[in-house]
Amino acid sequence: MKAFIVDRYGRADSLRAGEMPEPELRQDDVLVQVHAAGVNMLDNKIRAGEFKLILPFRLPLILGNDVAGVVVRVGSRVRHFKVGDEVYARPHHNRIGAFAEFIAMNEEDVAPKPKSLTMEQAASIPLVGLTAWQALIERVGLKKGQKVLIHAGSGGVGTFAIQLAKHVGATVATTASAANFDLVRRLGADVVIDYKKDDFAKLLNDYDVVLDTQSRAVLEKSLQVLKPGGKVIGIAGPPDPEFAKFIGSNRLMGLVMRLLSRKIRKQARRRHVGYSFLFMRGSGDQLREIAALIDAGVIRPVVDRVFPFEATKEALAYVESGRAKGKVVIKVR
């Protein structure tokens, strides 16, 4: 099958188009013919080797963490899907590979595609949708009347998280460039701060939750806007001891992660708030709940550009440039 492959970690030219064997189908797997694949900054970071110590992928590696397509084969123990089903998924982090004609995934990570979406729109949802869901709903239990700051509101995670938080009934602040103010306001943001001109930490206070997608500097400053007992969820790092447990790290790697996050955890304790690192996981059950919200019109996908499969490298470069509003998608079939 055709695929985009990483043979060695490094720069953008380390990704190539090539042929790979069709994936092996396990008893609990569905084999999906890929129609579309979402593109994420995570793909660029994996390609560059930023996760090679904590997520030791076996090379050569097919990239791709978001997929929508059609089931073409099922394992002997699969109970919830049949050939011909339209599905979407975020494959398990050890079994990524959406930038290909086919992908095999455990049925637990897969859900029926939202009926109201095209394949390209559906492929834009899983990673950012699950990230927002696991941060705001599962990790902090965001409630009506609470206040949440969502950084980079015009990005993939931001555009989804704003809509989800508004659905819950929270007051939403976000950071964005002036050019994206109209977009984030249409999505439901109540307070919009121009990150190029204004200091959000001087304008906001007594927030219950911060969702940070940016950098350590932004993460540390975000502690200042929280009320006592509030929590900041970071998806850009640093990884914390709980993440070490999640991926089953050895004691040495667990110690490394404890050291990497020691400063931010200490700063959080001083302010009587919490810090938590989130590396989202695949979940078919949560994708079913997300699909229900989408089909009910509560949340809509925000897709910036759709690239043809052969332009996958260009799609990754566009995402890495930071110019995308919402998600970028590759049309595979």
Question: 127-277 architecture in CATH?
Answer: 3-Layer(aba) Sandwich (3.40)
Cβ(179)–Cβ(241) below 8 Å? no
Place of tokens 């404890």: 258
Question: Mapped to the 3 state alphabet, what secondary structure does 78-138 carry?
Answer: CCCCCCCCEEEECCCCCCCCCCECEEEEEHHHEEECCCCCCHHHHHCCHHHHHHHHHHHHH
Residue 171 burial (C-beta neighbours within 10 Å; 0-12, 13-18, 19+): middle
CA proximity to 159, closest of 170, 171, 150, 147: 150
Delimit the CATH 3.90.180.10 region(s) of the chain: 2-125+301-331
Whether the pLDDT of residue 83 is over 80: the answer is: yes
The mean pLDDT value for 92-101 works out to 96
Delimit the CATH 3.40.50.720 region(s) of the chain: 127-277
Residue 223: what are its φ and ψ, rounded to 5°? -60, -30
pLDDT, tens digit, 9 for 90 and up, residues 197-224: 999 999 999 999 999 988 788 999 999 9
Across the chain, which distance is largest between two alpha carbons, in Å? 58
Residue-level pLDDT at 302: 98
Q: Which two tokens stand for residue 223?
A: 């502690």
Whether the pLDDT of residue 2 is over 90: the answer is: yes
Q: How confident is the model at residue 78 (pLDDT cuts 50, 70, 90)?
A: very high
Whether the pLDDT of residue 246 is over 90: the answer is: no
CA proximity to 184, closest of 151, 215, 217: 151
Residues of the chain with pLDDT > 90: what percent? 85
Q: How far apart are CA 7 and CA 109, in angstroms?
A: 26
pLDDT, tens digit, 9 for 90 and up, residues 120-149: 999 999 999 999 999 999 999 999 999 999
Q: Is 68 strand, coil or helix?
A: strand
Neighbours of 44 (CB within 10 A): 17
Q: Is 222 strand, coil or helix?
A: helix
pLDDT, tens digit, 9 for 90 and up, residues 296-331: 999 999 999 999 999 999 999 999 998 899 999 999
Q: Is 62 strand, coil or helix?
A: strand
Cβ(165)–Cβ(172) below 8 Å? yes
Whether the pLDDT of residue 72 is over 90: the answer is: yes
CATH class as words, domain 2-125+301-331: alpha beta
CA proximity to 67, closest of 122, 4, 17: 122
